[in-house]
Structure 1
Amino acid sequence: MPPRCSPASALFLPFLYPTLFRALPRVPRAGFSTSPPTSTSIAENGSDSTETSTTNDAIPVSRLNPPPDDYAISSFADKARITILAGGGGHGCISFLREAFLANGPANGGDGGHGGNVYIQAVHGENSLHKLARRRVIRAGRGKTGQGSNRGGARGEDVVIQVPIGTVVREIERIDPMDEENVLYRQAREKEREYEKLVREAEVAAQASEEAGVGESEALRLTIDLPEPPERPNAHKFVLYPGMSPGERRNLSLPRLPSRERLYAQPEPSIHLDLSVASPRPILLAAGGLGGLGNPHFVSKDRPRPLFATKGERAVRMQLELELKLLADVGFVGLPNAGKSTLLRALTRSRARVGNWAFTTLQPNIGTVVLDNHKGRPIVKSRSPGPSPSHSVIHDATFGSVVVSNQPQIGEAPEPRKRFTIADIPGLIEGAHLDRGLGIEFLRHVERAGVLAFVIDLNAGDAVKALKSLWTEVGLYARMREDEERERETSERIDWQGDGTNLATGRMIIADLPEPVAEPTGLHIAAKPWFVIATKGDLPGTEENFKKLKEYLDAVTNGKERHPSNVEHAWTEDCQAIPVSAIHGQGVDRIVHWTLELLDD
């Protein structure tokens, strides 16, 4: 009977369970071992490789050809949907001064503390949204209730959400209790005005009936037939003294709320932030509610001892969508199993997972190419703009030619580049825009890259066809992003408040033809500098494939062939292909030199 987890079993696929395909050493039972294991057997067991490898069997295990379990992976999330709640304000206090020989002193209740705010800030050192994706709900501190002796409540604690640089923040939903209260207040005021109008009409009718001699009974009937008075508009915003009797509560007359100034204004809907640079200071997302007023604010000649205070404001609630676009200088784009992760290992000190199966990379990897580690001369010296000329000539109509001297200033010339970053995204397959494979959502991480590097496997068929297929998916993604941006701009013009406050009044409306909608072009990605990295160039039979690829790129540069994306005005200045053998580390230095040329230009 074969073992249940035999290495030859077809149930455990090698790309899902690579460690099950390794030959494990037999461990003798305790008590029956007669001699320690020899060094030969240990070396043989340590050099076992997976059975899934077909092309790398003769290559020794190294950093560029590691075993399947030699990789480093970190928690990563490039999308998160969170709910933020600002802190509500604390209630005001109802208190009176009590001292010896002063039983009923004046009001001395303190105000409630303001609620905490919610901020967001893009900082260095963060490279993932997985912490926020787990947290989901973020609450600011609530303001404390006021106390006696005119002691105000403590302010709620602010919350600062730290996100990686390159995060895009979009507002999905907003629930502002103050907007709802304003609508309810206007409705209650309308009912109150209608009731006051009925009371005035009843009084006029009763007075007229008395003058006509109808009698007091008829006048009394007219006043009794009035409907029940509506509730006071701001009754729910007050806190009443707990020692009041029901009769006092019923007959209590509440004043109008005083107007108050806000220290933090609520951001206008809808929020859309593109945090492409580090934020020097936190950005306000949701402002906390105002604290309630203590009873000393309502002292008057007719009301020396007010038995009420106001409640703190309820705070706003928002639902936000965070999307991370990694800010890398170079973005690797390629088909699955093209050697992108091996190439990243060869160029940087990254420990990306490497395997001889498709979709080894399931999340983006970031590597840094260090050009100058301050230990001797730099590996590759970046070109920096030369110094400006010491003088310039200005031709003036009155004074003729005038020579102006340009004195160099300290810190004027930029420092040469010391490093650049590379983003390796999961592989794309044909039809990825139809959500095949892992889709094209990962292309957002190379959307902001300065240079695109298309990694083509010379041993996997026609390289020109593979390049065109990749550019097709990239172009479709670019058009999709342009459509989303256009829809967002359209939604910002909608009057979400519904009161018409943002509409122009008093102006003539002229009928006109609508502006033509521009077709999405995808130029914002096609206009980037790009080149091709032809991997696995050490394998036999790849010379002819590389020759065809080189001829095609030369034709694109000379204008004889269109850009692979078929986008007008795309970048075709100097399309090059660099053959490399990433697993041997051969030819990768030319990638660094050529990348620096494109970045500096």
Structure 2
Amino acid sequence: MAASFIDKARIFCRAGKGGNGAVAFHREKYVSAGGPDGGDGGNGGNIVLVVDDNMSTLMDFRYKRKYVADNGMDGQGARKFGKQGKDLTIRVPRGTVVRDAESNEIIKDMSDSEPFILCRGGKGGWGNAHFATPTRQAPRFAKSGLEGEEHDVVLELKLLADVGLIGFPNVGKSTLLSVVSKARPKIANYHFTTLYPNLGVVYVDEGVSFVMADIPGIIEGAAEGAGLGHDFLRHIDRCRLLVHVVDVSGSEGRDPVEDFDAINAELSQYSPDLATRPQIVVANKTDIMEDESLLEKLRAHVEPLGYPLFALSAASHTGTRELVLKIAEKLSTLPPVTVYEPEYVPKPVKIDASEPLKITIEDNTYIIEGKWLERLMSNINFGDYESRMFFDKMLRENGVFQQLEDLGIKDGDIVSMYELEFEYQH
């Protein structure tokens, strides 16, 4: 049953390739020398991530792992531009952190409502109409479209909740959430009722509310991945305040102090930062308490540690209002929910220049094409001086300029590479 909640998924995304430019000439009755009129290719579609508040798990990514956007259409005669490839929109739950699969660095935290372009589509190639000049009136060449970006990413869901309910299974967390909010979690008297986190909005007063998450029961060994617990610890990462629910009824023969310490030990092991998060301790099930000394024993243990303790019964709604007011008061002093900053910096592109380039000569224009050149150009920012210098260095080191000179290029001849065109100067 644990498989019913999916909170981590790895997917492959590839944006669409740009369409190729067209080589065409104007054909019309009584027009003896129609000029070039080949249209440009359309840009490839982007891969766009969008938050969907109706999603609460990453279940959709369990079976579908590959996402590819549409390619741009090729250009046509009569200066008809190719149609742009349709963007592929991928919907994710709010709070999904997108990581680079190789480095594990954060690319984007999908906590706001802005769409995010994960992979950009390749630019469409220019048609021959683009290359007409007073001295080159009938260019017989066009450009190929560029490949789209591709990325292997890991999606990781971290709930956006102000308050996280933690504690062993069956201590009354789901009941408490259902009492203080409009959430309707499934509640039953057995362990591991909650297989995925339930979220509820708690309305305190006019204009005052907070989001509470019932985190599935943590068991000892969760930090090492035992049972269900490890899968859910990451959901507490964002919570500003933890409400630690402990069963003090003694109905299952449990020791509340041992339970409290065991959960906190798991938190410490998973994340030292999490262990220092503010906590309010809730002694629950006081309505069926068999031995009051269990409550006093817990109070004597937690209050010296600086944790306030609230004795209540979620099932009979006793003491829950006081708890809600205390949580709201505490939250007003705490910083907002964590939003993770991007850490990912694209790595310098590795170019395998062993494959020879294709150089075609048309009307004193040297057209250079090749896979590695296309890949290099898609990673160069031509508006940046250092990027241009790197590009020049790569061409020089890989003998491109030498090849051009061997083919007889002269100063003033045109060099054309995909979307770039310049006059050659020795």
Change (3 A) 1:278 1:125: farther
1:360-403 Cα deviation digits (max 9, x unpaired):
1111111221224xxxxx5xxxxxxxxxxxxxxxxxxxxxxxxx
Assess if the C-alpha contact under 8 Å between 1:110 and 1:150 holds in 2: yes
Which of 468, 471, 475 aligns to 2:264? It is 471
Q: CA deviation at 1:140?
A: 2.3
1:594 corresponds to which of 307, 321, 326: 326
Alignment correspondent of 1:511:
none
Task: Please state how far the C-alpha of 1:150 moved relative to its aligned partner.
Answer: 1.4
Unaligned runs of 5+ in 2: 334-426
Cα pair 1:169 1:273 within 8 Å, conserved: yes
Q: Is the 8 A contact 1:290 1:313 kept in 2?
A: yes
Compared CA separation, residues 300 and 576, structure 1 to 2 (3 A) = closer
Partner residue in 2 for 1:456: 246
Q: Cα distance, 1:169 vs. partner? A: 0.7
Output the CA distance in 2 between the equivalents of 1:339 and 1:438. 18
Identify the residue that residue 404 of structure 2 maps to in structure 1. none
Give the superposition deviation at 1:296. Answer: 3.1
Counterpart residue type for residue 158 of structure 1: D
Paired with 1:164 and 1:318, the residues of 2 have a C-alpha distance of 20
Hey, what's the Cα distance between the residues in 2 that align with 1:370 and 1:90?
Answer: 53
Task: Check 1:358–1:76 CA distance in 2 against 1; reply closer, same or farther (3 A cut).
Answer: closer
In the TM superposition, what is the alpha-carbon distance from 1:164 to its structure 2 partner?
3.2
Matched, 1:289 2:218: no
Counterpart of 1:30 in structure 2 is: none
Q: Give the whole-Å Cα distance in 1 for the aligned partners of 2:234 and 2:55.
A: 17
Query: Residue 420 of structure 1 is aligned with which of 203, 206, 210?
Result: 210
Contact 1:121 1:278 in 2 (8 A): no
1:426 CA drift (Å): 1.4
Corresponding residue number in structure 1 for 2:99: 170
Q: Distance in 2 between matches of 1:284 and 1:271?
A: 17
Give the 4+ runs in structure 1 shifted more than 6 A. 300-303
Is contact 2:55–2:92 with CA below 8 Å preserved after alignment?
Answer: yes
Secondary structure of 1:323 counterpart: strand
Identify which of 80, 88, 93 aligns with 1:159. Answer: 88
Find the residue that maps to 1:546 and give its secondary structure: helix
CA spacing shift, 1:132–1:554, aligned 2, 3 Å: same
Residue of structure 2 equivalent to 1:344: 177
Contact map agreement 1:440 1:473 (CA 8 A) in 2: no
Aligned equivalents of 1:527 and 1:463: distance in 2?
Answer: 20
- The alignment status of 1:550 with 2:299, answered yes or no, reads yes
CA distance in 1, matches of 2:329, 2:317: 21
Q: 1:525 and 2:318 equivalent?
A: no
Flag the 1:120–1:171 CA change in 2: closer, same or farther, 3 A: same
Of 299-308 and 333-342, deviating more is 299-308
Relative to structure 1, the CA distance from residue 364 to residue 125 in structure 2 (aligned partners, 3 Å threshold; closer, same or farther) is: same
Q: Say which is worse superposed, 84-93 or 456-465, in terms of deviation.
A: 456-465
1:91 and 1:427 mapped to 2: Cα distance?
56
1:273 to 107, 111, 123: 107
Partner of 2:287: helix, strand, or coil? coil
Give the structure 2 partner of residue 446 of structure 1. 236
Query: Measured at CA, do residues 123 and 353 of structure 1 come closer, stay the same or move farther in structure 2, by a change above 3 Å?
Result: closer
Q: Structure 2: how far apart are the matches of 1:554 and 1:351?
A: 32
Q: Is the 8 A contact 1:337 1:427 kept in 2?
A: yes
SS in 2 for 1:309: coil
Deviations 1:271-311 (A, max 9, x none): 623426414x4333211111112123445788654443222
Assess, with a 3 A threshold, how the Cα gap between structure 1 residues 102 and 165 changes in structure 2: closer, same or farther. same
Which residues of structure 1 form unaligned runs of 5+?
1-15, 17-74, 174-268, 373-377, 379-415, 479-521, 558-574
CA distance, structure 2, for counterparts of residue 275 and residue 316 of structure 1: 20
Deviation at 1:546, TM superposition (A): 0.6
In the alignment, the residues of structure 2 paired with residue 95 and residue 274 of structure 1 have an alpha-carbon distance, to the nearest angstrom, of 43
For the Cα contact (< 8 Å) 1:108–1:295, is it kept in 2? yes
TM-score normalised by the chain length of structure 2: 0.71
The offset of 1:103, in angstroms, is 5.7
Rounded to whole Å, the distance in 2 between the matches of 1:115 and 1:276 is: 24
Give a deviation string over 1:62-108, Cα, whole Å, max 9, x none. Answer: xxxxxxxxxxxxx8532222221111111111211111134663221
Note closer, same or farther for the CA distance 1:432–1:556 as it changes in structure 2 (3 Å cut): same
Change (3 A) 1:300 1:342: closer
Q: Name the count of aligned residue pairs.
A: 328
1:251 aligned residue:
none
Q: Over residues 228-282 of structure 1, what are the superposed CA-to-partner deviations in whole Å (9 max), with x where a residue is unaligned? A: xxxxxxxxxxxxxxxxxxxxxxxxxxxxxxxxxxxxxxxxx98623426414x43
Q: How does 1:110-509 map to 2 (within 5 A)?
A: 110-122=39-51, 126-172=55-101, 272-275=106-109, 277-279=111-113, 281-299=114-132, 304-372=137-205, 416-417=207-208, 419-458=209-248, 459=250, 460-478=253-271
Equivalent residue for 1:99? 28
Deviations 1:104-159 (A, max 9, x none): 63221111111122233446555433334454333323211111111211222223
Q: Which amino acid aligns with 1:114?
A: N
TM-score by length of 1: 0.51
Paired with 1:135 and 1:159, the residues of 2 have a C-alpha distance of 14
CA–CA distance in 2 between the matches of 1:80 and 1:597?
37
Counterpart check, 1:534 vs 2:283: yes
Q: Does the 8 A contact of 1:332 with 1:340 survive in 2?
A: yes
Please say if 1:580 is aligned against 2:279.
no
Q: CA 1:551 to 1:526, structure 2 compared with 1: closer, same or farther past 3 Å?
A: same
Q: 1:366·1:422 contact (CA, 8 Å) conserved in 2?
A: yes
Q: Please tell me the residue identity of whatever aligns with 2:245.
A: V
> Percent of aligned pairs with the same residue?
39
Q: 1:165 deviation in Å? A: 3.0
- 1:86 corresponds, among 12, 15, 21, to 15
- Distance in 1 of aligned mates of 2:132 and 2:185: 71
Taking the aligned partners of 1:96 and 1:595, their CA distance within structure 2 comes to 74
Superposed CA RMSD:
2.5
Task: Give the letter for the 2:122 counterpart.
Answer: G
Give the letter aligned to residue 281 of structure 2: V
Cα 1:114/1:304, change in 2 over 3 Å: same
Which amino acid is the alignment partner of residue 96 of structure 1?
Answer: F
AA aligned to 2:204 is L
Return the letter of the residue paired with 1:448.
R
SS in 1 for 2:277: coil
- Counterpart of 1:170, as a letter, is R
SS in 2 for 1:453: strand
